[in-house]
Chains A and B, each alone.
Chain A
Amino acid sequence: ETGVTQTPRHLVMGMTNKKSLKCEQHLGHNAMYWYKQSAKKPLELMFVYSLEERVENNSVPSRFSPECPNSSHLFLHLHTLQPEDSALYLCASRQGWNGFNEQFFGPGTRLTVL
Chain B
Amino acid sequence: AQSVTQPDIHITVSEGASLELRCNYSYGATPYLFWYVQSPGQGLQLLLKYFSGDTLVQGIKGFEAEFKRSQSSFNLRKPSVHWSDAAEYFCAVADNNNDMRFGAGTRLTVKP
Contacts and interface: CB of A to CB of B under 8 A. Distances in A.
B85 interface: no
Given A42-B104, A48-B98, A4 B43 contact: yes
Interface string B44-62: 1110010100000000000
A31 B98 CA distance: 10
Interface in A3-43: 4, 6, 31, 40-43
A108 B43 contact: yes
Contacts of B45: 105
A100 B49 contact: yes
Interface string A78-114: 0000000000001010000111101111111010000
B98 to A, nearest CB: 6
Interface residues of A, number: 26
Contacts of A41: 104
A49 B46 CA distance: 21
A100 B98 CA distance: 9
A42 B102 contact: yes
B86 interface: no
Interface stretch (B18-26, B64-72, B89-97): B89-97
B94 A99 contact: yes
Q: Which of B42, B43, B44 has the most CB of A within 10 A?
A: B43
27 contacts: A4-B43, A6-B43, A40-B104, A41-B104, A42-B102, A42-B105, A43-B90, A55-B98, A92-B44, A97-B98, A99-B32, A99-B95, A100-B49, A100-B51, A100-B94, A102-B34, A102-B46, A103-B44, A103-B100, A104-B46, A105-B36, A105-B44, A105-B45, A107-B41, A107-B42, A108-B42, A110-B41
